[in-house]
Structure 1
Amino acid sequence: MADAAPYEIPTSVLETLAPSARRLVLNRRGSTVWDVETRHGRFAAKLGYPIKATSEWEGQEWTALAPGREGAILQHLNRKHVSYGDWEHGTWNVQPWHRGNSLYDLWQPHRAEGASPEPDLGEALSCAEAVAALHATGWAHGDIQPAHLIISHGGTALIDLALAQGGAIPAAYDFSYRGCLVHYESPEISRSVLETGTATPTLAADVYALGASLFISATGLRHVAYPDDAGRKDQRQAIVDGPHQPVNVHGVLGKLIEAMLSPDPADRPTSAEVCKELSSGR
């Protein structure tokens, strides 16, 4: 359910950006995102605010901190043209806009009826390289999903790092990790969230999420089957109980996805090994 009206970009941020145009991209559950055109380029402006409790979900405070946390992480990773701060309802950040198509959108033709799910290995490699580049810095993303893999002619941008873990975070912007979009959670993440309410993002869990992202983008199937109307607790329990769905993707990619979806983190390839396998299979 979207909010009745989106939050406008705070005046102080607008004065700095001096936009020539702006477009609403997202307005739901604790986050409003604007696509902003300026004389210095195109930027994403993200606003975070608390989620109010409804009959469908509990209230959440962490969403108000997420843009500030992401901004701090991006600066820690030496990403250029990133700023962040506080506003009356939470935190905000501004970062360069990434042009391209999400992995799921790009691979839509492979999900058409009668199509053979054999996506381009070069596109899969580009996604794996983006994940491996982040892992090489010592950070786990914690929220890998097809919508966060933006593919263009220049490669893949791995976006939305608000839940990442791997270095110091300013205490004012930090919060506990409570899992991610469940369609891409690994069994150990789902198990920890069910048992304790929180989990720790890991490189191995990222590899699982990348495998689940490649699988659903190629086939339209979630890595584990559960009813569309299942609650998050039931979804997570299905992931813990397993097994994952049969990987009906042909060739090198199918074999690799199978390995990436191993229930045992120790049995999964690293992101660097995923890159190596995809490179050799091209």
Structure 2
Amino acid sequence: MITPTSQRLVLSRRGSTVWRVEAEDPETEGTTAYAVKVGFPSETHAHTALAPSREAHILRDISPHAVHDGTWAEGTWSVQPWHPGPSLYSKWGPHRSPESTAIPSLVDALECSAALSDLHRTGWVHGDIQPAHLIMSESGVVLIDLALARGLWVPERVDFPYRGCLVHYEAPEISLQVLLSGVAEPTPASDVYALGASLMISATGWRHVDYPDDAPREVQRQAIVDGPHRPVEIPGDLGKLVDAMLRPEPADRPTAAEACEALTHAL
């Protein structure tokens, strides 16, 4: 049980509400920040009602922090630590300026790759890698929003099929599976593709594949399947690595651990 001293709505869309809540911490005599998530069905995403509890189960498997969850009249809720710091997209904002000639930080890219590699070693696949889910904290990158993660056991009462992620970061094989059957199975290789797409859009402002902003998702996914991806206009070793991450064949992409090795060698 926490007694809030302040609260701020951070997100409210598609059946998901996230609050940043501060509460008194009796151990430190200060305040601690929490992310409080509340899920409920939306017109297009019924599974969002279960997402907070599903993520809580996964976090308890991989995180040393206390995570709590439960149910309410329309879905589930969870309370987890708040991770301060900008997203990758926010931190690399200056690089998207036409006047910028600076190369995005290889250290930032390494920390993103390391966080993903660490997750894969636990047996989990994130399934929803995007710049907003890469938090650049003072102690390294934190991967957030793991409600779509796959790999190990999840209680049936909070589980739901994987129907793809934010299309801007989907790998071709994921888009194809969703187009053919409505569901897909994310893999470490599709996570790596999503990380490459996240690094690209954060550094350049360009999506990995060109399609109209207002196109239906089916059209967007077909464009990803048909390819090719846009040229990676990031100079140096980072550009070469992102290009490799965006290879159409999953087996041709580096693993997250191999991306770490390449970036460490480039530093």
User: TM-score higher than 0.5 here?
Assistant: yes
Which runs of no fewer than 5 residues in structure 2 stay unpaired? 26-31
Partner of 2:5: 20
- Contact in 2 for aligned 1:104/1:147 (Cα 8 Å): yes
Question: TM-score normalized by structure 1?
Answer: 0.91
Please tell me whether residue 50 in structure 1 is matched to residue 49 in structure 2. no
Partner of 1:222: 207
Letter in 2 for 1:46: K
- Residues 210, 117 of structure 1: CA spacing in aligned structure 2 closer, same or farther, 3 A cutoff? farther
Q: How does 1:1-282 map to 2 (within 5 A)?
A: 16-40=1-25, 41-52=32-43, 59-116=44-101, 118-282=103-267
Letter in 1 for 2:42: I
- Contact in 1 for aligned 2:14/2:45 (Cα 8 Å): no
Counterpart CA distance in 1 for 2:166 and 2:102 is 24
Name the % identity: 59
Counterpart CA distance in 2 for 1:48 and 1:248 is 39
Q: Secondary structure at the match of 2:177?
A: helix
Letter in 1 for 2:96: R
Q: How many pairs were matched up?
A: 261
Q: Secondary structure at the match of 1:224?
A: coil
- Contact in 1 for aligned 2:189/2:250 (Cα 8 Å): yes
Letter in 2 for 1:60: H
Which runs of no fewer than 5 residues in structure 1 stay unpaired? 1-15, 53-58
Please state how far the C-alpha of 1:185 moved relative to its aligned partner: 0.1
Counterpart CA distance in 1 for 2:154 and 2:229 is 34
Counterpart CA distance in 1 for 2:164 and 2:140 is 27
Please state how far the C-alpha of 1:78 moved relative to its aligned partner: 3.9
Question: TM-score normalized by structure 2?
Answer: 0.96
Q: Which runs of 4+ in 1 moved over 4 A?
A: none
Alignment RMSD: 0.8
- Contact in 2 for aligned 1:117/1:219 (Cα 8 Å): no
